[in-house]
Amino acid sequence: MRSIWKGSIAFGLVNVPVKVYTATEDHDIRFHQVHAKDGGRIKYDRVCTVCGKSVQYADIDKAYESPDGDKVILTDEDFAKLPAAEKHEIPVLQFVPNEQIDPILFDKSYYLEPDSSTPKAYVLLATTLDRIDRTALVHFTLRQKTRLAALRVRDGMLVLQTLLWPDEVREVEFESLDGVAEPKPQEIKMAETLVETMSDDFDPDQFTDEYQIELKRLLDEAIASGTGKVPEQPEAAPAEMDAEVVDLVAALQRSLEASGRRAAGSGDDNGKAKPAKKAAAKKTPAKKAAAKSTAKPAKKAAKKTAARKGA
């Protein structure tokens, strides 16, 4: 990996030199646009709508057009005059409880590596954040754009996650939810029981992108055929669709039965289902109380369901 940014975290009077690396990558297969007739690559030309000539990237500026049609052209020198955080410094603004940051605000993630022969300050900041269970809010400037970001710890390493500004998250209200009746107690209990049977610790390695896997297989077959085209395959028979189930209780019951069959099928050699792992996530006292109040009805519902099956 190559670092994309170098600077330091300003933690009070302590400076923590760091290198920044992009933490994620897109695994989607890339395609080029081609002419369907002969397979030639499609290219795009930057053409001025006034003079009709091709324009080099170095000769392009940025323009803003107001709703009233007023146009303003800005150059790189104009952007340089705007206020921005120090380009090679990540100032810590404040520390906030981890659970107070809504996940909808998270944008891109970056790994931070210590950029010092003695990374003691880096380890100190990472250890402190981990022990106090808080996230540092910082300013981070990358590619002439200043973002609000969250600085936290992941497996002993500092991770920077840029955040959306509050006005970048849309406010929304759906009229379809107005006047909707509250779920019945029986529906809630059965839904809680279903959640209980499907609960486990999160393991991202259990999930795969089936679309990309099948797309790669399809491309490999096309390459192996030597024609550059996908071999024709027989059409699969259309799957039968169940009629829409209006009765929620019946739908939940069917879901519980299907979940029970899957659990039995994935059990050990004696046909016994493997117990779900206990969640290891830390909870605040308020969350623990909430968890107890919701877990008890689920267990009672599970016993009642088992009793009905036994009868």
* Residues 288, 308: Cα–Cα separation, whole Å: 30
The reported pLDDT for the residue numbered 200 is: 85
The whole-number average pLDDT for the span 27-52 is: 89
Band (pLDDT 50/70/90 cuts) for residue 32 is: confident
pTM of structure: 0.62
pLDDT of residue 50: 92
What is the architecture, at CATH level 2, of domain 5-168?
Answer: Beta Barrel (2.40)
CA-only gyration radius of the chain, Å: 28
First-to-last alpha carbon distance for the chain, in angstroms, is 61
pLDDT of residue 225: 82
The domain segmentation of the chain, as residue ranges, is 5-168
Q: What is the reported pLDDT for 242?
A: 52
* Least confident interval from 62-71, 148-157, 258-267: 258-267
| DSSP β-ladder status, 14-22 and 106-114 | antiparallel
Q: What is the pLDDT of residues 160-177, one digit of tens each?
A: 999 999 899 998 888 888
| pLDDT tier, 97 (very low <50, low <70, confident <90, very high otherwise) | very high
pLDDT in tens, 246-266: 577 788 788 888 877 777 766
Which tokens hold the place of 250?
A: 């019946």
With cut-offs at 50, 70 and 90, classify the pLDDT of residue 215.
confident
Taking each helix axis as running N to C, give the angle between helix 185-197 and helix 285-310, from 0 to 180 degrees, rounded to the nearest 10.
100
Q: Dihedral angle at the C-alpha atoms of 10, 16, 19, 24, nearest 10 degrees?
A: -70
Distance between CA 200 and CA 310 in Å, rounded? 26
Q: Is the pLDDT of residue 270 over 90?
A: no
Average pLDDT, the chain: 79
pLDDT at 86 (0 to 100): 59
Q: Report which of residues 71 and 259 the model is more confident about.
A: 71
Enter the DSSP assignment of 42: P
- pLDDT greater than 60 at residue 308: no
More confident residue, 268 or 261: 261
